[in-house]
Amino acid sequence: MIEQNVSLRPYNTFGLDAQAKLMARVNSIQALQEVLADSRLKSEERFILGGGSNILLTRNVDGLVIKNEIDGIEVIDETPSHFLVKSGAGVVWHELVMHCIANNYAGIENLSLIPGNVGAAPMQNIGAYGVELKDVFHSLKAVDMASGSVHSFSSSDCDFGYRESVFKRKLKGQFVITSVTLKLSKNPNVNTSYGAIEQELEAMRISSPTIKEVSQAVINIRQSKLPDPKELGNSGSFFKNPVVPTSKYEELKSQHPNIPGYPAGENTKLAAGWLIEQCGWKGKVVGNTGSHAKQALVLVNYGNATGVEIFELSEQIMQSVYDTFGVQLEREVNVY
């Protein structure tokens, strides 16, 4: 069934009240193929919507929103050391993480509480606390929006980068991801070295953590500094952490001795939140939007913000970081 004139406020975590001219909900590959083949809809712009956690809507969608609700989690194969776990693209990412932890499938515990659905995870190669999706990725299936044919993508096909993949570049807007298969370990090798995980585990009085305890530490950290989108509209980290030549980092360090930096191959990754905070944005309210008081990297909707208002704030922040540090920030969210 095709719905008309649908408010997208409940379907994006910023809580922005954009309108969709048409909306179709699909819960299977066949349902998706039928919508894509419908001759009445051929001329409509197509807009794929998952969990709505990585989108900034600056205008109405004058076309067809396809809401991906493909469900299901199953083990499709196993080896002596790994499980292959397949998830529908419409599954909430954190629910997949909790399912895997409950069954002792290890590898994505550090990615607990990341908002959004499974289908978006490979699009931007989600990552947190020293782990990226590409570390556990096996394959995905996606439907070509032009032909309706189903394609399989390996890790190399996806061309993963830092919060990047082929689906954000060369193949942008051409495929709908329908399922993702992860290669998860039977023998947990927990990663607690990044960020505040070790400190949090210490506070929890845990010295030899299970994957469930690592997950709980990550949840505690995220909840302590990131607002719940149900209470305060946001899309999590709005900007990517910039990666600069190490020579640029050394130059910045000579001027700003406290600037944090993390090795990234031959380059150095900077902390976007720190840069934004140094420019005076942390906790600053601008009209109906602002930078969150506990994490400068998170832009929020205080109730009646428009997408344009949030976009304009992001422009101001990017300009001030560039003027102060000579570093160009990039948005992590997709702007529509």
237 is catalytic: yes
Active site residue 332: yes
The number of beta carbons lying within 10 Å of the beta carbon of residue 327 is 17
- Look up residue 94 and give its amino acid: H
Q: Are strands 127-128 and 131-132 parallel, antiparallel or unpaired?
A: antiparallel
- Chain length of the chain: 336
Q: Which of these, 262, 257, 256, 292, lies nearest to 277 by C-alpha position?
A: 292
Catalytic residue of the set 163, 179, 235, 314 = 163
Which of the residues 112, 139, 237, 291 is marked catalytic? 237
Is there a contact between 143 and 176 (Cβ–Cβ < 8 Å)?
yes
The pair of three-digit structure tokens given for residue 4, joined into one six-digit string: 């008309």
Considering only CA atoms, which of 299, 278, 274, 271 is closest in space to residue 287?
299
Q: Which positions ≥6 away from 43 have C-beta within 8 Å? A: none
Sign, CA dihedral 219-258-264-318, equals positive
> What's the rounded Cα separation, in Å, for the pair 201 and 301?
32
- 163 touches 192 (CB < 8 A): no
Tokens 């299970």 belong to: 210
Q: Both tokens of residue 82?
A: 């790994």
What is the set of active-site residues?
A: 163, 237, 332
